[in-house]
Amino acid sequence: MTQDVATDRQEFSFDELMADDPFEKSLVTNDIQCHGGYIDGEYVSPRGALRRPAIRNWRERLSVADHPLITIPEKYVPPNYPNYDQAKYLLQEGVVEPVTRALTIIAIVEGFGARIREVSVPDFDAEVEESVDGTALAHLASGLFEAHARDEAGHRDQGGHKQMWEAARDAGLDKPEIPDDVLLRLMSGGPPATRKRLYPELSERMESMLLMMTNVLIIETFAEDTFNWAKKLLGDPEVSADPVQAAHIVDCIARDEVPHVDYLTVALSELRARTLIGADGQSTLSGADVIDGVFRRQLRGMATVRPQQSRERSQADIHQAVSDKRRASSVARQFEELDSGWTFPHRDDEELDVLLKSA
Ligand SMILES: [Fe+2]
Ligand SMILES: [Fe+2]
């Protein structure tokens, strides 16, 4: 399916990065026409006809220059919470709401992914010593962010991941009642903390973009475990109303995430191999120092805070879903016993393992 695009081709127009493969049939679910489609009975992700070979070519260029790719070792990826056994237990007990809530939150968060198109990209010519011609970096603002936003939130009348997760949830849990406070509770995590600049020498725009891309890359990598969890749970005929369709939709979404992880990895690795110029136009910083510093800090934060928050939220969800207090406590206890437990493998004062693999 990948078009035969010579590896020396490094420049792609906006329209090319949006171009679909010639689908024979599209994915329609929950009465919504979704992105992507089928070729020879196989699901193919949207906007991939040239985006796929483009990312491949940029990665190849890094590899030829012997520059490594950043990566997140599996041991740093927290397992989805609740785990499969816990979620299955709740469904078997008829306590559907916490699982409905968890899947609805995933759908909402996918929709938030559209915000990536609002990231403002710094002036690379002024803020990077080496040229960025023919790189993923040079295409962030001219297609890569936009394609990513469309994949997550849908585009015009076409459903994206937000709508696909809702469809998977509705197929698997048989159109469950959606608690009306999901969005409210999701948004009431307190006001965002004011952020201290990590590299005050850099322009605000450069630092914000790096933080955003790093966060999204970490979330996308953590999501792989969520996909496996959802496929197993919604694909389990003992608890799923439509195991085949529900698991299939999740599988389609998981495939669509591959280019996201790929282009973010390549772009951050390209920057890592370069020299950053400070906002004063004079000072220089090693891209490797900055990217590794941001990456390690964000990874440690997200991998420790999120599992803890999910645990606390799940307990609250169970108590909210089961009105009989004694039964709620007993379900919550049983649920806790199924917890597989996970803690971040490094103490605060320990360096994270080098996050590199060769391109
Ligand atoms: Fe997504
Ligand atoms: Fe994504």
The sign one gets for the Cα dihedral 261, 263, 267, 270 is positive
Distance 285 CA to ligand 1 centre (A): 33
Q: What's the pLDDT at 216?
A: 94
Distance 262 CA to ligand 2 centre (A): 10
Separation CA 312–CA 228 (nearest Å) = 22
Q: What's the pLDDT at 144?
A: 98
Cβ burial, residue 326 (10 Å; 0-12/13-18/19+): exposed
Q: Summarize pLDDT for 307-352 with one digit per residue, the tens.
A: 888 888 888 888 888 888 899 999 999 999 998 777 777 766 666 6
CB 77 within 8 A of CB 303: yes
Q: Summarize pLDDT for 39-92 with one digit per residue, the tens.
A: 999 999 999 999 999 999 999 999 999 999 998 888 888 888 899 999 999 999
Residue ranges in 235-324 assigned as alpha helix (H): 243-272, 287-321
Separation CA 16–CA 112 (nearest Å) = 25
**Higher local confidence (pLDDT), 264 or 3:** 264
Distance 84 CA to ligand 2 centre (A): 22
Distance 152 CA to ligand 2 centre (A): 6
Query: Is the pLDDT at 354 greater than 60, yes or no?
Result: no
Distance 281 CA to ligand 2 centre (A): 34
Q: What's the pLDDT at 164?
A: 97
Q: What's the pLDDT at 73?
A: 85
Q: What's the pLDDT at 21?
A: 96
Q: What's the pLDDT at 191?
A: 61
Distance 257 CA to ligand 2 centre (A): 5
**Higher local confidence (pLDDT), 305 or 276:** 276
**Higher local confidence (pLDDT), 76 or 252:** 252
Distance 265 CA to ligand 1 centre (A): 16
Three-state helix/strand/coil letters over 44-64: ECCCCCCHHHHHHHHHHHHHH
**Higher local confidence (pLDDT), 183 or 178:** 178
User: Which ligand lies nearest the alpha carbon of 108?
Assistant: 1
Mean pLDDT of the region 226-230: 95
Instruction: For residue 191, give the 3-state DSSP assignment.
Output: coil
Residue 301, C-beta contacts closer than 8 angstroms, at least 6 positions apart? none
Query: Is the pLDDT at 13 greater than 70, yes or no?
Result: yes
Distance 349 CA to ligand 1 centre (A): 33
Query: Is the pLDDT at 177 greater than 80, yes or no?
Result: yes
Distance 248 CA to ligand 2 centre (A): 17
Please state, in angstroms and as integers, the Cα–Cα distance from residue 98 to each residue in 4, 89, 110, 164, 187, following that order.
46, 11, 18, 19, 17
Distance 274 CA to ligand 1 centre (A): 29
Distance 220 CA to ligand 2 centre (A): 6
Mean pLDDT of the region 155-178: 96
Q: What's the pLDDT at 188?
A: 73
Separation CA 21–CA 263 (nearest Å) = 19
Distance 135 CA to ligand 2 centre (A): 20
Q: Summarize pLDDT for 262-278 with one digit per residue, the tens.
A: 999 999 999 999 999 99
Distance 236 CA to ligand 2 centre (A): 24
Query: Is the pLDDT at 183 greater than 90, yes or no?
Result: no
Q: For residue 279, what pLDDT band results from cuts at 50, 70 and 90?
A: very high
Residue 289, C-beta contacts closer than 8 angstroms, at least 6 positions apart? none
Q: What's the pLDDT at 30?
A: 82
Q: What is the pTM of this model?
A: 0.93
Q: What's the pLDDT at 193?
A: 67
What are 205's strand-pairing partners?
none
Distance 147 CA to ligand 1 centre (A): 11
User: Which ligand lies nearest the alpha carbon of 261?
Assistant: 2
User: Which ligand lies nearest the alpha carbon of 153?
Assistant: 1
User: Which ligand lies nearest the alpha carbon of 116?
Assistant: 2
CB 18 within 8 A of CB 143: yes
Q: Summarize pLDDT for 106-122 with one digit per residue, the tens.
A: 999 999 999 999 999 99
